[in-house]
Structure 1
Amino acid sequence: MNPMGSGMQERRNLVFVGGLHRSGTTPLARAIASHPDVSGLSGTGVPEDEGQHLQDVYPKIRAYGGMGRFANHKMAHLTETSPLVSEANAQRLLRSWEPYWDLGRTYLLEKSPSNLIMGRFLQGLFPGSAMIVVIRHPIVVALALQKWNPRLISRNGRRHTSMTDLVAHWVLAHELLREDSAFLNRLHVMRYEDLVADPPGQLEPVQHLIGLKTPIPSDAFRKDQSAKYQEQWEAMASGRHLQRRQRRVIEQRFSEAVRIFGYDVADLSVSPSWSLT
């Protein structure tokens, strides 16, 4: 589990939050960090106060194509076997994040989407750390990402990604998470839909995993954030030929893979029971 053996210091006070873009990582991280015993990164000046942008130990996701693409690159899936796992790099990461934490708090939180497929790597660097992952319906994630999806190619070279490719990326990233889960000692995975439906109930196991003595504030979540995407998806069933074809291809290719995580590609309002294992 830990290639550095006893040489790596136990760091149970570190909490990592991960999940694909538009999956709810930011409101979840902010809720946890609003607890009086937890400090999240703040005042960083980087997008969403994500720790990935503040460090130079591992490549940022833009090196692997950015949002909706990064999990497609094998090099983005870091584990405890990576040569980057060392005490020196653990200290380097902490030095890059510490100026933006309130070090008077007991628990220190870092959030980045790529943590979704870097849990084993972060555990290798910081044994005893906790990993909280939030997942959201792949169709909603794909539709929500359209805001940043260029029609052809953006000024920074980012190319258009089809809805089919965005869903395929979702499936791959979460399959990697399932594989990694067997190696992670302190992991909790929740669905965004369950979180907004019952914030106190969904945050209670997070509270216990971290070791907080009092509940995590749960009044900042809204239940209606996916309704417009459900309407868009339903409209595609009777839309233009390309939209109908795209929806049909996604349903045929990914229905089974998505159902494992408790989602129905044909009906976004359905959330059957599920288990990561």
Structure 2
Amino acid sequence: MTTTTAQPAAAPVPAKPAATRWEQAIIGLMLALMLVPSLVCYAIYGHHFFVPDSFTRLTHTPEEWQAMLRNRTVVFIGGPHRGGTSVLWEMLARHPAISAFGSTRETGSDHSEGMFVQSVYPRFGIGHEFNRGREGGKGGSAWRPTGLGRYALGPEADVHWTEEHPSVGAPKQAQLLNEFGRFWELSDKPVLLEKSPPNAVLSRYLQALLNVGNPGWAPVPPTFGGVQSVARFIFISRHPLANAYAHRAQGSCRDERLAVLIANWLAVHEYLEADAPRLQFVRRLRLEDLAASPHAAEEAIGALWAFLSLPPAPEMAAAAARSVRADPNGKYIAQHCESMRAEPRARAAFERAAAELNERVRAISVTGDAAGRYDLLDDDWRCAGLPPLADALEAQRAELEAAAALKDEN
């Protein structure tokens, strides 16, 4: 007979206490803090912000893209950041035969710029705004200029890509077009439009890349092999001082020196000036000319559509012209002159920069002809009525000494 030993009863498991109202509130707050950024990103960038690029990227082969490009033109807009590229892109995209990227929310790309949605070449100035650092870096360590307002001052091999870049070939051509193509209407639009400011330093590279598989085409002017390029380029510029102050309006550049921002503008335009003769199809214009009047804007857009071999669209051109803001530089001229009056040291720094850089600025023909030139000291930016700089500096010095003496007395 087997004797069974009775097992002691298991101790009751205490019930988990219900969360207090404070704990519930904290949990709710934590969930909200996690959810709100996602909702904000969705409101700005749409679903593309959350979907990996590999899920939406097209999968056409190089041969398929080369066949599609035989009856299409790819247009690249470029120029300095804050220089009017978005305005120009929106105006050109009104033509019914042009397929452009959609809005920021439709693409998940800031300002609908193609550079944000591709992985073939670097993003240069964009996407690095919060890594701008300071000159000399922490503890005096070396600092590499890659951010907004500085990127063109980096090493030329990093910034200026041409037809000699080793990545020019069918694989990268298909990769880039598959990344861009998901935002283009490819069924019946003969002109495909993309806008990124650094196209101004990438143009020769993009021209060569897009013409891979274009029989007979060669990147050698003036004949280019007797074959028309698939790619065309439109560049827009803005007065370098207006461009500098517009950069400063961005949080990432608000403390940047005018001399650095003007030097970056110069670097972009000097690359562009050297590259333009190597491009088969290129047009250049100034934001100030585009915004001179609705009639001027309408004529400019009509001429650019003709450059793209598109038929006239008068109603669309008129609508595009109405969207241009008049006097885009006015507030920056006022800001500049106020700074020159109130801050003699800032004025002295500007005058040093002008003495060093203005000859190079005046040498740039941003429209490709003698008329399209800028001057750091032209009438709009001269700020009439300023006292002599030496007098202004002396008055400021005396004012500071008087304030210091009063402080010591107290």
TM-score by length of 1: 0.86
Is residue 2:329 matched to residue 1:250?
no
> How many residues matched?
256
* Cα separation, partners in 2 of 1:233 and 1:84, compared to 1, 3 Å: same
Give the structure 2 partner of residue 123 of structure 1.
207
- Matched with 2:177 is 94
83-92 or 231-240, larger mean C-alpha shift: 231-240
Give the direction of change, closer, same or farther, for the CA distance of 1:30–1:151 in structure 2 (3 Å limit): closer
Residue 220, structure 1, aligned to residue 335, structure 2:
no
Q: Structure 2 CA distance, aligned partners of 1:26 and 1:221? A: 11
**Range with greater deviation from structure 2 (132-141 or 64-73):** 64-73
- The structure richer in helix per residue is 2
Task: For 2:348, give the aligned amino acid.
Answer: R
CA contact (8 A) 1:14 1:108 kept: yes
- 3-state SS in 2 of match to 1:238: helix
1:265 partner letter: L
Do the aligned residues in 1 keep the contact of 2:148 with 2:253 (CA within 8 Å)?
no
Partners of 2:252 and 2:200 in 1: CA distance: 24
Task: Write out per-residue CA displacement over residues 108-137 of structure 1, whole angstroms, 9 at most, x where no aligned residue.
Answer: 101001101111011001132110000000
Tell me which residue corresponds to 2:374.
263
Give, in angstroms, the shift of residue 168 of structure 1: 0.6
Query: Percent same amino acid at aligned positions?
Result: 31
Shift of 1:82: 0.4
In the alignment, is the contact (CA less than 8 A) between 2:93 and 2:100 conserved in 1? yes
CA shift, 1:13, in A, is 1.2
Alignment of 1:137-148 (within 5 A): 137-148=239-250
Give the AA of the match of 2:202.
Answer: M
What is the CA-CA distance between 1:39 and the residue it aligns to?
Answer: 1.1
**Bigger shift: 174-183 or 142-151?**
142-151
Q: 3-state DSSP class of the match of 1:94?
A: helix
Q: How does 1:176-215 map to 2 (within 5 A)?
A: 176-197=271-292, 198-215=296-313
| SS of alignment partner, residue 182 of structure 1 | helix
Deviation of the 1:218 alpha carbon: 2.6
- Report how far residue 147 of structure 1 moved: 2.1
Q: Please name the residue that 1:26 is paired with.
A: 86
Does the 8 Å CA contact 1:33/1:40 hold for their aligned counterparts?
yes
Shift of 1:204: 3.1
| Aligned residue in 1 for 2:9 | none
Residue in 1 aligned with 2:394? Answer: none
Q: Distance in 1 between matches of 2:342 and 2:350?
A: 10
- Paired residue secondary structure (1:265): coil
Deviates more, 1:192-201 or 1:208-217: 208-217
Query: Residue in 1 aligned with 2:334?
Result: 231
Secondary structure of the residue aligned to 2:178 is helix
Q: Which residue pairs with 2:264 in the alignment?
A: 169
Matched, 1:112 2:232: no
The alpha-carbon deviation at position 150 of structure 1 amounts to 4.2
Q: Distance in 1 between matches of 2:379 and 2:107?
A: 36
CA contact under 8 A between 2:247 and 2:253: conserved in structure 1? no
Q: CA deviation at 1:47?
A: 0.3
Query: Match of 1:49?
Result: 112
How far the C-alpha of 1:149 sits from its partner, in A, is 4.5
C-alpha separation in 2, matches of 1:268 and 1:150: 30
Secondary structure at 2:152 match in 1: helix
* CA–CA distance in structure 1, aligned partners of residues 378 and 99 of structure 2: 38
- CA deviation digits over 1:42-99, x for unaligned, max 9? 1111100100111111111146623211111211111000011111111111100111
Aligned to 1:71: 152
Q: Which moved more, 1:215-224 or 1:140-149?
A: 215-224
Higher Rg of the two aligned structures: 2
Instruction: Specify the SS of the correspondent of 1:205.
Output: helix
Q: Distance in 2 between matches of 1:131 and 1:268?
A: 31
Which structure 2 segments of 5+ residues have no match? 1-65, 129-144, 212-228, 366-372, 382-410
Aligned-partner residue type, residue 149 of structure 2: G
SS of the residue aligned with 1:96?
Answer: helix
Moved more, 216-225 or 168-177: 216-225
**Contact 1:149/1:161, CA 8 A, preserved across alignment:** no
Deviation, 1:211, is 0.9
Name the Cα RMSD after superposition.
2.0
Q: Which residue of 1 aligns with 2:99?
A: 39
Q: Distance in 2 between matches of 1:205 and 1:121?
A: 26
Q: Aligned partner of 1:29: which letter? A: W
For 1:151 and 1:117, the matched residues in 2 are separated by 21
How far apart, CA to CA, are the structure 1 residues paired with 2:332 and 2:244?
A: 9
Higher relative contact order (CA 8 A, sep 6+): 1
- Structure 1 spans left out of the alignment, 5+ residues: 1-7, 153-159, 271-277
